[in-house]
Amino acid sequence: MTPDVLSHTPLHDAHCARGARMAPFAGWLLPIYYSSIIEEHLHTRAAATLFDTCHMGQFLLKGPNAARDLDRLLTCNITSLPVGRCRYGLLLNDRGTVLDDSITYRLSHNEFMIVVNAATTQRDARWIAAHCSSGTSFEDISPITAKFDLQGPLAADILQPHLSEPLNSLTYFSFLRATLHGVDVLISRTGYTGEYGFELYVAAPFAIPVWNLLLEDPRLKPAGLGARDTLRLECALPLYGHELTEDRSPAFANLDFAISAEKDFIGKNALDQARSDPSQPRLCGLSFPTRQSPRAGHPVLHNGSTCGVITSASFAPSLGHAIALAYLDPACASCGTHVQVSSGRALLDAVVCPLPFYQHGTARRPTVTPTS
C-alpha cells in the first residue's frame, strides 16, 4: 500500500450506505461519526452502539513454546493465562519504550491470538515473528478477520437473541465461541469505552450481514471513531501514539497492572531503571472549567514554567466540560495542583484531578441474560 492509498475495512460499503462521515485514520478510511460525536457518545453510555474496529490487527501464534515466546515479548504474564481468558499487555523494545499495546487471547493450551493497533500491525508482525522460537508458528490473520465492538449497558439484551450460546458465563476479560445465525463468532468482553459490551470477531465475508443484522434492533446505533475516542478518554484509557509511544517509557503511565514483576521480558531492565527514576514524568488527568479543550502537544505550565505536555484532550460529553491526559513533572503532578495549558492563542486554566474522569461505567458488571 502506498502512502496516498487508504485501506477499506470489510464494512466500508455499509458505512457509506448509512451516510457516515468518513476520514483517514492510521492508513484506513473509517467512519468518524454518523449523526454526531456527542450523540453517539451519550447513546453508548445510555443504551448501546456498534463500532467498526476491523482495521485492528490480529495474529495467531501456535506451538509448544508459544506461551514462553509471548512471555518474553509482552509485559503481562502469559504462562498463567487460562484458556478462555484474555490479558492486556505492552510490547516493548530493548529501550523499554512502547512498540504497541495489545490484548492476548488464549485459544487453547498452545494457541494464542494477539490483537494489536492498526497503525503498528505490520511492524508488530515483523517484531513478533522475529522473536518467536523455531517451533512457534506465526500467522497474520488480519486480512481475513472482521472485528466490531458492541458497547453499552444494553449490549447483552441486543446480542443474546442472536446467539446459540448464553452470555451469562462471560466475565470481564474472558471470551467464548458461538454461532450467530449460523456464522461462527468469537465474542469477548474487554471494552474500550468503560461500558459493558462485547467484541465480535467473524470471518471477513460475514462482516456486512452480521453488522446489518445487529443494527435491525432500534436500540442499537452505529458509532464512529470520534465517540470511541471521547469515551476512552473519559475513562483514562491510553491510546497508542498519544499516551504510549516509542519516545517515552510507560514507567508512570498508570499501567502497573499490565506489567509483571515475576518474569523477564524484552525491555524490562530499561523499564525498571525508568521506574526507579523519581524525575520521570507522570501521566495525569487535567480538568478544565469550560468546554474549551487544548490539543495533544500543547505545553502545560506551572507558575509560568513548562512542566508537561498534553497527550489527549477533548470536551467530555458525560461530564459537560473539557478534560485532558498529560505527562507532568512530579513537582506538579499531585491532585489539586492548578496549572495552565498554552493553546497558542490563550492560556487555559486546569487542575490536576483523579483518574478516571468518568467513574460510572458499567464495563465490569456481571452479565445478566435478558428475560424473554
One DSSP character per residue, 100-156 reads: EEEEEEEEETTEEEEEE-STTHHHHHHHHHHTS-TT-EEEE-GGGEEEEEEESTTHH
- Which tens digit of pLDDT belongs to each residue from 280-324? 999 999 999 999 999 999 999 999 999 999 999 999 999 999 999
195 and 330 part of one domain = no
Q: Are residues 264 and 293 in the same domain?
A: no
Q: Is residue 38 part of a domain?
A: no
Query: For all residues of the chain together, what is the average pLDDT?
Result: 96
Are residues 334 and 200 both part of a single domain?
no
Q: Is the pLDDT of residue 111 over 80?
A: yes
Residues 99 and 197 in one domain: yes
Identify whether residues 330 and 216 lie together within a single domain: no
Which of the four pLDDT bands, split at 50, 70 and 90, describes residue 1? Answer: very low
Residues 271 and 305 in one domain: no
22 belongs to a structural domain: no
CB 69 within 8 A of CB 136: yes
250 and 104, same structural domain? yes
Whether 273 and 333 map to the same domain: the answer is: no
Percentage of residues in the chain with pLDDT exceeding 70?
Answer: 98
CATH code, domain with 330: 2.40.30.110
Across 190-197, average pLDDT = 97
Domain that holds residue 129: 54-222+231-277
Q: Are 198 and 187 in contact (CB under 8 A)?
A: yes
Residues 177, 114 share a domain: yes
217: amino acid identity, one letter: D
List, for residues 229-251, the tens digit of each pLDDT value.
999 999 999 999 999 999 999 99
**What number is the average pLDDT over the span 195-205?**
98
* Greatest distance between any 2 Cα atoms in the chain: 63
Residues 247 and 303 in one domain: no
* Mean local confidence (pLDDT), 267-290: 97
Q: Average pLDDT for residues 90-108, to the nearest whole number?
A: 98
For residues 316 and 268, membership in a common domain is answered with no
Write down the pLDDT at residue 258. 98
Number of domains in the chain: 2
Q: What is the 3-state secondary structure (H, E, C) of 296-330?
A: CCCEEEECCEEEEEEEEEEEECCCCEEEEEEEECH
Identify the CATH number of the domain in which residue 169 sits. Answer: 3.30.1360.120
